[in-house]
Chains A and B, each alone.
Chain A
Amino acid sequence: MASIAACSSPGIVPKQEHGEDPMQIDSNAPEQRHINRVPEGLLLTDYLRIYYGKLFPYMDMFKWLSYGNADGKHPGCDSSYFGRREFSFTIKSDRDEIYLRFQSFSNASEMESAIKAKCPTKIDIGAVYTVDPAKRHAYAQSGFSPVERELIFDIDITDYDDVRYCCSGADICSDCWPLMTIAIKVIDTALREDFGFNHILWVFSGRRGVHCWVCDSRARRLSKEQRSAIADYFNVYKGGENSLKKVTFSGPLHPSLARAYTDVLKHYFEEKWISTQKLFEHEERFHKILQLIPDESVVSELAGKWQGSRLEHVNSVRWDQLKHMLQSGSKKTQGLRRCIEEIVFSYTYPRIDIQVTKGMNHLLKAPFCVHPGTGRVCVPIDPNNCEQFDPTSVPTLAQLLEELNANASIGTDNYMEKTSLGLSVNFFRTSFLEPLFKTCKEELESAYNTKIQQSKDSLNW
């Protein structure tokens, strides 16, 4: 990390014609380097223009989304593949926000010039269609429909608002963010172990959640029904706003849930969640937990015990009391046996937006976009080290441009390397893109060989 005092270096960031130079905001206080928000108004677009001009990893995005089909030399390539992908732009002008759907690009440079020209505040990625989405009207008769799409997951911390007490809505803090860490761990493990997927990309959504892209060819070709099945497989926390009990287990846990419980949820709930959220300190909070116990006598006994008295470690003590009560021989009835697990799952198991996963043409924000509210870049998250990910230290646009300025003198044209975005892009390349690309090439090769073999066979007949 370069921390040389910012010197407005000429040539990279244009001087603002009005107002202060945003690059100098922090120049005297290097210990507060984070500029959390892009200043209001016009500046966002100006910042974005530089970001798209110097930093956005076009080639990497193109290489990813063409899945090995961009290599024109190989006869097995489908050269139309990338061009049939839908992109969508959100563009902000002075007062309006315009939404452009069904954009498509035949190659990397077309994509690059369109993004540079339109300078979207948000880029979404959609499905690969039967034909070029820009020409969908011409093909309406013969059928315009999605044929391939990554299996995607969208997890948003606002969906946990009924169980987190530290923040609500768009806010996050170091106490509740671990819910996202848990979601990544549980889902990532299940996708690999249960479903056998290998090429999985996790991305910070820029403010309060995470996105997941499963890119194996098998995942991209799933039907709507199969996607629904996977979404339901993960949909443990159910029921609308008006049902009381959202998690119900009628028997012992399914192996996949049992693994999540013993490897991740239980430990986290007991060690962290009950104390950071003070689940048993406040009456209305522990009543919410007691509501999940379908036995009046247990509930009233516990509630009576917990009246008034304030002791040390009240949260863990009371949780132990609750567990003891439910597990003790006399109370161990059929209905209560699963209750401890149900409580832990209600509070900590991932809550995915199932509609996003089920659909084939649902749009999802592209990695490396900038969240317009926070100014933070949607960087990939390493699922193997997701505990270390800190959403509050994700580079912001302003910070990146400052680094760019500070390191302008370093003699290379690779702007990305001069900023902390370089680390994220490198991670994207080495951990995700390269293994994916290798697999794509192998699959392409073997599909092609099979085809050749078949045509040979048919000649021999």
Chain B
Amino acid sequence: MEIVRSQRRNGSDGSAGAASLPLYKSAPSLEVRLEEFERCAIDRLRVLKAISDGLSRGKKPEEMDNLVGELWRANMKHQDVDETLRKDIISHFALRLVYCREEEMRRWFLSMETTLFRYRFRLQNAEAQKSIMNELQLQYNVLSHAEYETLKDKLIQAARSVNSTSNPETVFYKVPFEDVPDLVAGRRVFLLKGFAFVPRNQVVSLVCTIFRSNISKALALTNRKWRATIHDQEKDRLAPIVEALGNSYLGPDYSQPRECAEISLKDINQLASSSFPLCMRHLFGKLKEDHHLKHGGRMQLGLFLKGVGLKLEDALAFWRAEFSQKVGAERFDKEYAYSIRHNYGKEGKRTDYTPYSCQKIIMSTPSTGDHHGCPFRHFSEENLRAALNKMGVGGRAMDDIMDKVRNRHYQLACTLTFEATHAASCETGINHPNQYFVESRKIFQSKILVRMLITIV
């Protein structure tokens, strides 16, 4: 309730048409019809999904700015400011309920909501931004003129290093570096003796850090409430809607192998060369070649294999067979077996880990010695061409794929690769390595297509 009132006041102030931006601190007591609940949730999901796709295509900040603006206008905006606000709030809390239930879902929701908030915050005028900062109780010191003069050169240098094209900012907040991890990580601020000097145009980072941590705590709380009471109380009313929303829009959960049920160890080589997507094929090949993969690669391939249907015992045998050639069976059992059992939920927190989606793989940051990541994004053009060649892709298909890569449509590039190697179309598009595998098996299992493939290749 409180939020609604304060935001309304902002809205009626008509402060240069600034859209009000709620902080979703507590669920308002509003009367909402079930249909409205569902419709709002779906509209917001469209926005979040599209943001997620945009990020995984590596869109630049300005492109994301435009994208989020359009999405918001198309799905959420209403002529009446109060109506927009009402929908904003209802849809957020509806999705919070939908996405509070699993760790993976919470992480996705948290990161998409924070991204949405980030863009919307930047669209606010200075006045509105300030009032949001006050509401979040962010009280930082603005750098005095004297201090600014002594640090001026460094501050400008730091701004220019990240291609800040706009006029040099002269208002800086001096904050402990711990408060702006994303700005530190991207080397986007000047640091001195433990303080980060945050230009006013980057203040959104401070706000987002707090926003994110508030929503994160709230999600954990909602999850507890869901389990304890809501799920039972709403068994016949809300719960089915919530569950359906989660399933239909997050895409299938590939943690449990489906359809092709199980694969056996003896088939794995053959499956790798026929039905693994390039990222997994590459990891698989490297593992066979080096008898070793670094952590990121072990996770990406290991969870994929689990999703494909490799049972724990077979997985252990598979990894041991390779690693023992490099580090010895003993060291494998001691240092690596644990993490494989861990992935299968047999150690530690005993969470059954889900295989990585394309989005997660594309956003990963492989480092020295790493082979994981998305080949379409992380390979140099030369290496990618060589890898595709090895899969039998060439000619026109190769050009089309490289074209998608240049435009940062990595998943589309992967989809084209699938189509080229399977001589079949893939209408849904590839958004998960395990989906690639399932689709590929479907095609190979229908014999006619196999024969077709042979005649074409």
Contacts and interface: CB of A to CB of B under 8 A. Distances in A.
Interface in B143-199: 154, 157-158, 160-163, 177-178, 181-182, 184-187, 190-195
Interface stretch (A2-10, A32-40, A71-79, A227-235): A227-235
A99 B190 CA distance: 43
Size class of the B contact interface (CB-based, 8 Å): 35 or more
A163 to B, nearest CB: 10
A317 interface: no
Contact of B194 (A218, A252, A255): A218
A243 B330 CA distance: 33
B375 interface: yes
Contacts of A222: 178
Nearest to A355: B295
B96 interface: no
Contact of A242 (B161, B162, B383): B383
A232 B186 contact: yes
Interface in A86-105: 96-97, 99
Give the one of A222, A232, A249 with max B CB within 10 A: A232
Contact of A240 (B190, B191, B193, B378): B378
Nearest to A90: B334
B369 interface: yes
B367 A354 contact: yes
Contact of B330 (A96, A197, A225, A253): A96
Nearest to A218: B194
Given A196-B195, A226-B181, A242-B378, A255 B186 contact: no
Nearest to A158: B369
B379 interface: yes
Contacts of B368: 159, 237, 241, 246, 351
B427 interface: no
Contact of A241 (B158, B184, B365, B370): B370
Interface string A254-266: 1111100000000
A257 B370 CA distance: 24
Interface in A151-174: 159
A110 interface: no
Interface in A259-317: none
A122 B231 CA distance: 51
A254 B187 contact: yes
A195 B379 contact: no
A238 interface: yes
Interface string A387-411: 0000000000000000000000000
B369 A159 contact: yes
A19 interface: no
Nearest to A231: B185
Contacts of B432: none
B337 to A, nearest CB: 12
Contacts of A255: 154, 157-158, 161, 190
A251 interface: yes
A193 B334 contact: no
Contacts of A195: 177, 191, 193-194
Contacts of A237: 367-368
A210 B64 CA distance: 41
Contacts of B192: 193-194, 196
A221 to B, nearest CB: 9
Contacts of B295: 355
Contacts of B193: 193-196
A216 B384 CA distance: 45
B194 A243 contact: no
Given A195-B194, A196-B195, A240-B372, A254 B158 contact: yes
Nearest to B328: A97
Contacts of A245: 380
Contacts of A244: 380, 382-383
Interface of B: 154, 157-158, 160-163, 177-178, 181-182, 184-187, 190-195, 282, 295, 330-331, 334-335, 365-373, 375, 378-380, 382-384, 387
Top 4 closest pairs, chain A to chain B, by CB: A196-B194, A240-B366, A244-B380, A229-B181
12 contacts: A193-B192, A196-B192, A222-B178, A226-B178, A228-B185, A239-B378, A240-B371, A241-B368, A242-B282, A242-B383, A254-B161, A351-B368
